[in-house]
Amino acid sequence: MTQATPRGRPLDDELTGRVLNEVREALDAVGYVNFKIEKIAAAVGCGKTTIYRRWPTKAELAAAAILDGVDPGETPDTGDVVEDLVEHAWQHLRNFKQEGQQKATHNRTLLAMFDAEVIPLIEARYMKKRHEMGREILDRAVARGQLSESLDQDLIIDTIAGLTLFRLSLKPDARVHSDVELKDSYRRLIRSLVASPD
């Protein structure tokens, strides 16, 4: 039988990891709407107050579980705007397919990102930084003469991110046989997005 954590005890790293893993399991099994903090607490052997002290709301807890171990990465600079954007997209894809977080690649877990309560937290803690990195790549490309100033930078960044999220959450069985093939699909999309207008 799991030893219960006393009420009010702060979460240590080991217990934090177990809580977030259990949340991902619950999101994958029943989705965001149906997962209960009471059941998470019971599963890991701690009191609800322990969880609520760290994550005051269900949305905070779900966002923490989704973003656990996720790293925005560094802004690529290969000298080529297409390759920079490919690497930028690859960082994003890797974050949600990383080894040790297989559950974070399952549909219901990723779809929880789009709940009205969760998405502002994901935006503030992850997507905003990723968007800024994309703008840095594109601004640098304009300064180098690789990209037209007239192109809609936000549209480019959002389209690339949208492909990643769509394939992971709504079309996880897309026919992609290797990392090389997947990167090439990004490369073809990005080339069309950054092509100079006629």
pLDDT tens, per residue, the chain with 198 residues? 334 444 445 568 899 999 999 999 999 899 999 999 999 999 999 999 999 999 999 999 999 999 998 988 899 999 999 999 999 999 988 887 753 344 444 567 888 888 999 999 999 999 999 999 999 999 999 999 999 999 999 999 999 998 888 877 666 665 556 788 889 999 999 999 999 765
Q: Are domains 13-67 and 81-194 of this chain identical in fold?
A: no
Residue ranges covered by each domain of the chain = 13-67, 81-194
**Cα–Cα distance for residue pair 54/56, rounded to 1 Å:** 6
Q: Does domain 13-67 have CATH number 3.10.129.10?
A: no
What is the dotted CATH code of the domain comprising 81-194?
A: 1.10.357.10
| Assigned token pair, 132 | 């800024």
CA 35 from chain center: how many Å? Answer: 20
pTM above 0.75, yes or no: yes
